[in-house]
Amino acid sequence: MTPPSIHNRIVVRGAGDVASGVIRRLCEVGFDVIALEKPNPDCVRRYVSYAEAFYNGEMQVEGVTAELVQSVDQAVEVVGKYRVPLLIDPNAASLPDLKPEAVIDGRMLKQNIDTDRGMAPIVIGLGPGFIVGKNCHAAVETRRGSDLARVIYDGSPQADTGIPAAVNGISLKRVLRSPANGTFMADCAIGDMVKQRQILGKVAGIPIVAEIDGIVRGIIHEGLNVYIGQKIGDIDPRGIEKLCYTISDKANAVAEGVLSALRALQERMAH
């Protein structure tokens, strides 16, 4: 017989910027949160992503600290208020031992989702690729617009358009993408002010050129292997330094949607 789930324990798959907004909010209201990540995470908004603990051992974002752990036992020892263990477990093999009340998939994969409803009593998916009743019990809309953070109990979030949301009217040009397959080498850092046509890095010797003026809000770690077309950076035309180091309005909104879904599904289970 499968042991009962541990009330108040939440596992979040992924610890990028949107998932980190969710993690922080859940910690704030008293849940014990354990984050699962892949090795060498390629988050763009690294300074607001708990995944950064993979590289530094720890990562603090807005009052909550993630700590890299090596085992389920260590994760259970670390987890607590405002403390999140980050366990490298891309396939979620640790779930039978962790026995969470809920699993939240915040990896934003958009396709080829390997999360399913059997992973926990409550499974919530973020963004495209989730179908309520098939691979989750509820989903949360992550596309900006009037439906952002809407909780979905029947159907799916909106499909991925491949077009990033506009900032100051600029959409595609603000996103940096790899021009080739190869190793990323950086010539800039998060928080740098950059100019149009400035070289910000290279992949396989091919330069990555800024198409707009702005501030580097996010850039992946130097030395990571990337594929052609992969998102590797983000220039914010508003040029506001604070936005490089704070959770986005989108991530905070999605976090509220997750919290609403979680409480509603807990209430259903109680009755």
**pLDDT tens per residue across span 176-226:** 999 999 999 999 999 999 999 999 999 999 999 999 999 999 999 999 999
Q: Are 46 and 221 in contact (CB under 8 A)?
A: yes
List alpha helices for the chain, DSSP H.
17-28, 53-56, 72-78, 95-98, 249-270
Q: What is the crossing angle of helices 17-28 and 249-270, to 10°? A: 50
In the chain, the amino acid numbered 200 is L
CA 151, CA 134: separation in Å to the nearest integer?
Answer: 16
Q: How many CB atoms lie within 10 A of CB 42?
A: 17
**pLDDT tens per residue across span 245-261:** 999 999 999 999 999 99
3-state SS class at 261: helix
CA 35, CA 233: separation in Å to the nearest integer?
Answer: 23
**pLDDT tens per residue across span 74-122:** 999 999 878 999 999 999 999 999 999 999 999 999 988 999 999 999 9
Domain 9-160+249-270 has CATH 2.60.40: no
Nearest by Cα to 33 from 73, 65, 70: 65
Q: pLDDT band at residue 1, thresholds of 50, 70 and 90?
A: very low
Domain boundaries, the chain: 9-160+249-270, 172-237
Overall pTM > 0.85: yes
**pLDDT tens per residue across span 14-60:** 999 999 999 999 999 999 999 999 999 999 999 999 999 999 999 99
Can you name the CATH fold of 172-237? OB fold (Dihydrolipoamide Acetyltransferase, E2P) (2.40.50)
